[in-house]
Chain A
């Protein structure tokens, strides 16, 4: 994908100033808090009632809008998943006029086999994640730590692919999957068709390279003089130090894999390995609306729950992913 997203430094909040009283832990005094959090409005601004009231009103309005725009569609989805189809068709915004239809959920699970497709999505994402991690770490290590002579040219070639939009690859990649080199038969309808191409992410490689570049060389030298071989260096020294960047790459990888539609739709025609993103549109016309909404709800609930639990990680790394998706 064509991205040149700047690396976001992780924000380290400044330590609180000492309260000046020995033995007393500095409390979050309003003044200090404002000095940290203040952006545009200063402490003085906040003291003016007009500013304070206007800002608070604006915030309340914003909150209401966010709830309506961000939360309402989800809530409607969950509600409609357990509403009888006829009610959703005739009176979509009423609240259970004729009771709850729990069997929508049961049917979504048993007839639509949402669980199976969920599993496929996870399998797909896990494989893509693994391939991306392997490619990025090994390549980043080789190019950044081992630094072969031809490393610069290789990195240049990798960087070049960053500027090629994914669409160019669509048809030839499809034909490559049909007739891969070395292997005798096509990879269509196997997870390999999705896993392997995912590894060709220049963005990941460059991210990891930059991170490795920032690691102190002295550690490598020290390990070498201690007699560590290259593999040991990679496995026991560099990788453990790379947890932060691996985390970022993982978030991107899993995000992208989870959301991917065009490519899996093209290469995974066999129903049994289709992920959610491919299967759900296909069954829309042959599934009762209530059951369908229940299926969509199940497909949504799990990522939402995961998001709510791991908010911090998402909001730090995922924000970049959002920009990449546009």
Chain B
């Protein structure tokens, strides 16, 4: 990044002459600047900053949309903690994140390492890997919902039948529902991560590999001691990004199972949605915002701790 000279570095005498009155301000272009900032101020003000503040306020209120909201203190937070479904949702979300990391974190790395060595047709590999990402997420889920039909003539069950494996319940059984969701989510998202890793790998300086070979490093050693450490930065970042994203998973539970069977795929986001938008005749907006704030705080703390830890590891 080129460093830029600070345009505001005015010489001292002119500074002292400056008076704070509206006319000079406008003459110096203050109004123009404000004009340019108008879209940002309006859009962020109305659709970002104000709602954030509102969220905090609403979490301490009881709102229906007819009468003015009532201040209820910590009641909403207490209600959320006392809701058994909350603990289920936390467990489910953690489970989803865990599975997603388990399947979705190493696989793109392995594939990227393999793909980086491809001499010819690299484009073909990249296109194939990225293809699932291009499909509309909604379409992807709907397609996989059809794949997951639990009857013996469902697509996946038919394939399993070729290998004499009995038909699986997929999303129809609490034990297999969450893994099924994670499988589809990984399929849909891995391609993007693969491309990122590939790009990062091209920035590894060849001299490092040369140096390693001079030291007599084997293939494995090269990967372990050169590739991975060089990728460390991006690996750390994609890890936390993946956790933050999976903590907010909504699409899969909503479209695949609606939170079932028996609440086994109800995630925190789905619960927030249910609090706000599926309670009969007017939602529990206070509890919804309370829960969303709790999630936000948790993710913020997690990120801070994570960056502290990884900073220490990077230094070692």
Q: Which residues of A contact B (CB under 8 A)?
A: 2-6, 8-9, 11, 35, 37-42, 44-45, 51, 55, 58-59, 62-63, 66-67, 69-71, 73-74, 76-77, 89-93, 131, 134-135, 138-139, 141-143, 145-149, 154, 157-158, 161, 163-176, 178, 180-181, 196-197, 199-200, 202, 205, 210, 213-217, 220, 230-231, 234, 258-259, 261-262, 266, 276-278, 280-281, 284, 289, 293, 296, 299-300, 303-304, 307-308, 311, 314-316, 318-326
Contacts and interface: CB of A to CB of B under 8 A. Distances in A.
Interface string B256-270: 000000000000010
B277 to A, nearest CB: 7
Contacts of B159: 93
B187 interface: yes
Closest 5 CB pairs of A and B: A322-B192, A326-B245, A319-B195, A139-B40, A172-B54
B248 A59 contact: no
B288 A325 contact: no
28 contacts: A6-B233, A41-B219, A59-B114, A66-B125, A73-B187, A90-B153, A91-B158, A93-B158, A139-B37, A139-B40, A145-B7, A158-B44, A166-B248, A167-B269, A167-B295, A171-B289, A181-B46, A197-B47, A231-B32, A259-B136, A259-B137, A276-B138, A284-B142, A322-B130, A322-B133, A322-B191, A323-B238, A326-B244
Contact of B128 (A3, A70, A202): A70
Nearest to B38: A138
Nearest to A200: B48
A11 to B, nearest CB: 6
A155 B40 CA distance: 10
Nearest to B238: A323
Nearest to A45: B219
B142 A66 contact: no
Nearest to A316: B199
B26 to A, nearest CB: 12
Given A170-B276, A196-B47, A307-B134, A321 B296 contact: no
Contact of B135 (A89, A167, A304, A316): A304
Majority secondary structure of chain B interface residues (helix, strand, loop or mixed): helix
B192 A318 contact: yes
Contacts of B142: 280-281, 284, 296
B153 A89 contact: yes
Contacts of B33: 142, 146, 148, 230
Nearest to B8: A147
B36 A38 contact: no
B222 interface: yes
Interface size class of chain B, counting residues whose CB lies under 8 Å from the partner chain? 35 or more
Contacts of A45: 219
Given A40-B116, A41-B219, A42-B213, 19 more contacts: A35-B206, A39-B206, A93-B158, A138-B36, A142-B36, A142-B40, A158-B44, A168-B295, A171-B276, A171-B288, A173-B47, A197-B48, A215-B4, A217-B5, A277-B139, A281-B142, A296-B143, A321-B192, A323-B238
B130 A307 contact: yes
Contacts of A66: 125, 128-129
Majority secondary structure of chain A interface residues (helix, strand, loop or mixed): helix
B135 A318 contact: no
B110 to A, nearest CB: 9
Contacts of B111: 62
A276 B36 contact: no
Nearest to A158: B44
Contacts of A262: 250-251, 254, 273
A170 B43 contact: no
B312 to A, nearest CB: 18
Given A319-B195, A322-B192, A73 B132 contact: yes
Interface in B12-58: 29-30, 32-33, 36-40, 43-44, 46-52, 54-55, 58
A148 to B, nearest CB: 5
A105 B23 CA distance: 65
Given A322-B196, A326-B241, A70 B132 contact: yes
Contacts of A3: 241
Interface in B81-124: 111, 113-119, 121, 123-124
